[in-house]
């Protein structure tokens, strides 16, 4: 079994979720990175259980694997993007609660990956305080995930406290290197601010890579681009994933392209298929 090409629902926010899944399947995607958000699968909806059950049925009908993502911009606070986080002086418990719900949703959808990140450091917060908040806030959530048989795939995000894969390794160390805490590797982010290439990052962190996001980007600029508009060597990244035996999702993340989602998704899978052919040659 090898990697499965996937698309993120955060790039289909103008579509109803059943329609987005149908389009992905028709285009040939084998998986979906499903962001819990108000317009698709609202984690706080009164009928969440029924909607999760419906979604599980659709995933089975279309043969789509799934990973649950938790990066919705305003799902917790309608005024503040991505807030509160584990690092927030107030409200960190809300972020922990969201991740717990995501773990439960993942179980009901039949998947074992929940994606998450640290959040940005509040102004004036020393690093030691930020680490203490992140570790203490994440520890009970991690225990909940372990008990559920779910892995938390932590993503380094440019501009956030944990912005590189080295930070994920430090977080794991501070938590005792738990098997259930793994990494999301965003190929574009690696181009933006990692010290080595995406393919080197993948190989160097092979034992941690449990979820992959992909798009094009340019060095030093955190802007999600369509393939061909940036500096990502897509065949080289896929070759590295093949080399480490990665068998999870490789999910296109184009969060600002929902206005043209079907055509962007079609162009993206064409590039990925060509790149995969080249990587396998």
* Per-residue pLDDT tens digits for 210-222: 999 999 999 999 9
The chain-wide mean pLDDT, for the chain, equals: 97
- Token pair for 17: 């979720």
The pairing of strands 31-35 and 4-8 is parallel
pLDDT tens digits along 147-199: 999 999 999 999 999 999 999 999 999 999 999 999 999 999 999 999 999 99
Q: What is the pLDDT of residue 2?
A: 84
Give the DSSP H/E element, type plus range, for residue 182.
strand 181-186
Question: Given a cut of 90, is residue 6 above it in pLDDT?
Answer: yes
- Token pair for 188: 């574009």
- Dist. CA 106–CA 52, nearest whole Å: 9
Give the DSSP H/E element, type plus range, for residue 234.
helix 234-243
31-47 average pLDDT score: 97
Q: What is the pLDDT of residue 269?
A: 98
pTM of full prediction above 0.95 = yes
- Dist. CA 134–CA 210, nearest whole Å: 21
Please report which confidence band the pLDDT of residue 108 belongs to, taking 50, 70 and 90 as the band edges: very high
Packing angle, helices 48-62 and 17-27, rounded to 10: 10
Q: What are 190-195's contacts with CB under 8 Å, separation 24+?
A: 190/165, 191/217, 191/218, 191/219, 191/230, 191/231, 191/232, 192/158, 192/217, 192/218, 192/219, 192/220, 192/221, 192/222, 193/158, 193/163, 193/164, 193/220, 193/222, 194/164, 194/165, 195/164
- Token pair for 62: 């279309």
Q: What is the pLDDT of residue 1?
A: 64
Q: What is the pLDDT of residue 68?
A: 98
Question: Given a cut of 90, is residue 97 above it in pLDDT?
Answer: yes
């Amino acid at each position: 079994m090898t990697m499965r090409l996937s698309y993120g629902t955060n790039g289909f926010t103008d579509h109803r979720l059943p329609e987005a899944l149908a389009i992905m399947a028709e285009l040939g995607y084998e998986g979906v990175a499903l962001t819990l958000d108000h317009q698709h699968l609202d984690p706080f909806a009164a009928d969440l259980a029924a909607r999760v059950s419906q979604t599980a049925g659709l995933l089975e009908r279309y043969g789509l694997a799934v990973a649950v993502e938790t990066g919705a911009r305003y799902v917790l606070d309608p005024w503040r993007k991505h807030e509160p986080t584990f690092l927030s002086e107030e409200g960190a418990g809300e972020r922990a609660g969201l991740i717990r719900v995501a773990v439960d949703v993942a179980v009901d959808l039949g998947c074992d990956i929940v994606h998450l990140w640290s959040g940005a450091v509040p102004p004036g917060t020393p690093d030691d305080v930020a680490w203490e908040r992140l570790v203490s806030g994440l520890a009970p959530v991690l225990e909940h995930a372990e008990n559920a048989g779910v892995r938390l795939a932590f993503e380094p995000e440019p501009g956030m406290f944990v912005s590189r894969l080295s930070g994920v390794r430090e977080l794991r160390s501070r938590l005792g290197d738990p098997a259930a805490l793994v990494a999301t590797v965003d190929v574009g982010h690696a181009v933006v601010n990692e010290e080595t290439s995406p393919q080197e990052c993948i190989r160097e962190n092979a034992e941690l890579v449990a979820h992959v996001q992909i798009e094009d980007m340019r060095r030093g600029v955190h802007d999600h681009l369509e393939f061909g508009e940036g500096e990502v060597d897509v065949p080289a990244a896929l070759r590295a994933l093949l080399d480490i035996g990665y068998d999870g999702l490789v999910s296109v993340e184009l969060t600002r392209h929902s206005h043209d989602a079907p055509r962007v998704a079609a162009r993206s899978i064409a590039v990925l298929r060509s790149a995969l052919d080249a990587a396998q040659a």
